[in-house]
Structure 1
Amino acid sequence: MENIDIGKKVETFRKDKGYSSRELARLADITPSMLSQIERGLANPSIQTLKVLAKALDVPTFSFLLEDNDTADLVVRANERKKMTVEHLSYELISPDFTGTMATAIMKVPPQTTSSEKLLSHKGEEVAYVLAGTIKIYLNGEEYTLVEGDSVKIPAHMKHKWENAFDTEASILFSVTPPAF
């Protein structure tokens, strides 16, 4: 946590809200000089001061303590995607990992295969887009045929399965929140 610049975060949140230093100091019931010292890294705020600043800025207190993301970790190069195979389905993770509130992947379904024998559900809400091929999706027992360019939203806990009853591989881009597959 030594790399976290709490003062810089306070200043950034303040500016994002459009507050002057005096306005925020008044809202947080601290002196303008104390706020100035915090923002410049000359004073370390107490937990109580962080709480009142967070309340005045309408942000969670812990947001001052989060480490900044290394933006390089947010980029996923096409040749560096994480890949996994589950039975005959292959997945390429488009998002960097599963740590956030959403994950995006490409699922490839070979010809004459299904994602599962029966309809399954999971807690995540999903949106899928057909990149290539033709695929059937079953939603609560209703069958739909999707072609390249079609998309579908699958609500959380809805029973569904994918079936490629055709002669070419289907590629499906999908995002799920929270990450679960």
Structure 2
Amino acid sequence: MGQEIGEKIKELRLSQKMTLKQLSEKTDLSIGYLSQLERGLTSVAISSLKSIANAFSVDLSFFFDPPVANENRILRSFEHKVSLVANSRFIYSNLGNDMECENISPFMITILPNHTNEELVPYSHSGEEFVYVLEGILTVFVDNERYELYPGDSIHIRSELKHNWDNHTSKLVKILCTYSPKILDLRENLKQKNHNI
């Protein structure tokens, strides 16, 4: 995946007639690092990729390929693919397969910091969901109550309750989230959640 992202960065940079030095100045990333990234010799953190996307005025989703159907029972860590990027801050990786289970949708979600004053609108839908915090501090709203969840904390709710969550810190948040019943259309679910696709 690193090589594909690097190729896309180089393609964007050349199409916008930008030098590595200019990109470095716009992103606060070193020329050496950007050069290695373009050649697929190093990996990139999501926060750095977001800076690069901003420098090129493209959405973060530009750097990820559309998901392909997964029919394997076992999904290795190196096989994780980004399923969707919403609002340039919510990065969904599907951890399940698309074949055997019809009852749950498991995702790992990386949430970039929210630097906007955008109001978080609680919403509801059928089913239930479980969230486990892997990294960072997740802000959760359920029935007009606000909670801060830390690594190792979890929440399990009926989705009919008005709820929503976000990252109000300056660092990444990573969560494991399962929805039941299985989400057939993640895009539609995110529109309800007020996350732009």
Report the TM-score range of the alignment, normalised by the length of the smaller protein.
0.5 to 0.7
8 Å contact from structure 1 (residues 131, 173) kept in 2: yes
Q: CA deviation at 1:116?
A: 7.4
Consecutive aligned runs of 4 or more in structure 1 exceeding 6 Å deviation: none
Paired residues, what number?
110
Q: Residues 1-181 of structure 1: matches in 2 within 5 Å?
A: 73-83=72-82, 84-87=84-87, 88-97=89-98, 100-112=102-114, 117-180=120-183, 181=189
Structure 1 residues 77, 93: CA separation in 2 closer, same or farther (over 3 Å shift)? Answer: same
- Separation (CA, whole Å) in 1 of partners of 2:104 and 2:139: 24
Q: Which runs of 5+ in 2 are unaligned?
A: 1-70, 184-188, 190-197
- Separation (CA, whole Å) in 2 of partners of 1:97 and 1:113: 34
Q: CA deviation at 1:103?
A: 1.2
Q: Which runs of 5+ in 1 are unaligned?
A: 1-71
- Separation (CA, whole Å) in 1 of partners of 2:171 and 2:155: 20
8 Å contact from structure 1 (residues 97, 103) kept in 2: no
Greater Cα offset, 103-112 or 75-84? 75-84
- Separation (CA, whole Å) in 2 of partners of 1:76 and 1:124: 25
8 Å contact from structure 1 (residues 113, 164) kept in 2: no
Q: CA deviation at 1:113?
A: 5.7
One-letter amino acid matched to 1:142: E
CA deviation vs aligned residue, 1:70-99 (integer Å, no higher than 9, x gap): xx7211122222311122210111111275
8 Å contact from structure 1 (residues 94, 105) kept in 2: yes
User: When the two structures are superposed, what TM-score results if normalisation uses the length of structure 2?
Assistant: 0.51
One-letter amino acid matched to 1:106: M
Structure 1 residues 116, 154: CA separation in 2 closer, same or farther (over 3 Å shift)? Answer: farther
Identity %: 27
Say which one has the larger Rg. Answer: 1
